[in-house]
């Protein structure tokens, strides 16, 4: 515990599911946490309350991280609250929104998915990188879908996450000389509202049964990996897309 003591972390989409688990885990390890949210104010407030109840330090900040002006406001409020040194940035905000075949796609849906998953990652990094220095860590949330194309109707989601994975490698090269590490995590089937909404019980059971560990993952397990990559224990890990899928797929 406390391996992140004194550090400041920003978690986009930190109000629920994997984002909430990450926010709480980083706080448990001693970080001050900015819990970013857009739609789920109650979820963000609950996440902050959980952190404070265990003696941690966190604030919730509303921002649409696919909007550049909102990103600037997120940065401004973060610096006002915790100073101009950011140690950990977790780009977790994202979504599938719907499963659509090629012929069902339209431009507005394409823009929505790409903006929330990929554009946000690009411009949140751009906004916060000037406040990060040697020893800082950026962790992007990609997906197993970036490896295998995802399930039916998720072509744009999978492609957006593939872009996140490639961007991670590029930024690891660009920011590595400054001592800033950039890695991504590629979760497989994790038991969250994401799959409650978009994956049938039949498919979930089939995938879990095909996984060597014979189960779904938990959000807390993803959070543990994020905390490790954010810590000095991972000081020579850079440019990786780390799979966490119970052995279902290998890079």
**124: burial class by Cβ within 10 Å (0-12, 13-18, 19+)?**
buried
| 10-residue averages of pLDDT along the chain (251 residues) | 94 96 98 97 98 98 98 98 98 96 98 98 98 98 95 96 98 98 95 73 84 88 98 98 89 61
Check residue 251 and give its pLDDT.
Answer: 61
Q: What is the pLDDT of residue 194?
A: 67
How far apart (Å, rounded) are the C-alpha atoms in residues 156 and 149?
Answer: 9
Q: What confidence score (pLDDT) does residue 42 get?
A: 96
Residues 191, 215 contacting (CB under 8 angstroms): no
So what's the pLDDT on residue 131? 98
What are the residues whose beta carbons fall under 8 Å from the beta carbon of 120, sequence distance 6 or more? 12, 65, 66, 71, 91, 93, 94
Using a cut of 0.75, tell me whether the model's pTM lies above it. yes
3-class secondary structure for 224-249?
HHHHHHHCHHHCCCCCCEEEECCCCC
Q: What domains, with CATH codes, occur in the chain?
A: 8-239 (3.40.50.720)
Active site residue 157: yes
DSSP element (H, E) containing 36: strand 32-37
From start to end of 142-237, where are the E strands? 181-187
Q: Which pLDDT belongs to residue 28?
A: 98
To 10 degrees, the CA torsion angle through 231, 235, 241, 242? Answer: -60
Concatenated DSSP letters for 74-104?
Answer: HHHHHHHHH-S---EEEE----------GGG
Between CA 15 and CA 17 the distance in angstroms is: 7
Q: How many degrees, rounded to 5, is the angle at CA 230 between CA 36 and CA 142?
A: 65
Of 37, 38, 82, 157, the active-site residue reads 157
State how far the Cα of 37 lies from the Cα of 15, in Å rounded to an integer.
6
For 18, residues 6+ apart whose C-beta sits below 8 A from its C-beta are: 92, 141, 187, 190, 192, 219, 222, 223
The pLDDT assigned to 213 comes to 86
pLDDT at 37: 98
C-beta separation of 163 from 221 below 8 A: no
Half-sphere exposure of 233 (CA within 13 A, CB side): 13
Give residue 198's pLDDT.
64
């Amino acid at each position: 515990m406390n391996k992140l003591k004194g550090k400041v972390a920003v978690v986009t989409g930190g109000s629920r599911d994997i984002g909430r688990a990450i926010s709480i885990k980083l706080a448990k390890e001693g970080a001050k946490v900015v819990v970013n949210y857009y739609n789920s104010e109650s979820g963000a407030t609950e996440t902050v309350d959980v952190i404070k109840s265990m003696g941690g330090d966190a604030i919730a900040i509303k921002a649409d991280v696919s909007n550049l002006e909102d990103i600037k406001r997120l940065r401004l409020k973060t610096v006002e609250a915790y100073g101009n040194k950011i140690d950990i940035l977790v780009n977790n905000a994202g979504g599938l929104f719907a499963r659509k075949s090629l012929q069902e796609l339209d431009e507005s849906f394409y823009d929505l998915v790409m903006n929330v998953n990929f554009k946000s990652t690009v411009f949140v990094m751009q906004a916060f990188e000037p406040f990060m220095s040697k020893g800082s860590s950026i962790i992007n949330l990609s997906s197993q879908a970036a490896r295998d194309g995802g399930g039916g109707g998720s072509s744009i989601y999978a492609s957006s996450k593939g872009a996140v994975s490639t961007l991670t490698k590029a930024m690891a090269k660009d920011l590595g000389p400054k001592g800033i590490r950039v890695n991504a995590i590629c979760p497989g089937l994790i038991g969250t509202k994401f799959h409650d909404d978009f994956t049938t019980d039949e498919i979930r059971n089939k995938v879990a049964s095909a996984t060597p560990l014979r189960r779904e993952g938990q959000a807390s397990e993803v959070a543990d990996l994020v905390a490790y990559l954010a810590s000095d224990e991972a000081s020579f890990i850079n440019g990786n897309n780390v799979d966490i899928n119970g052995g279902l797929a290998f890079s």
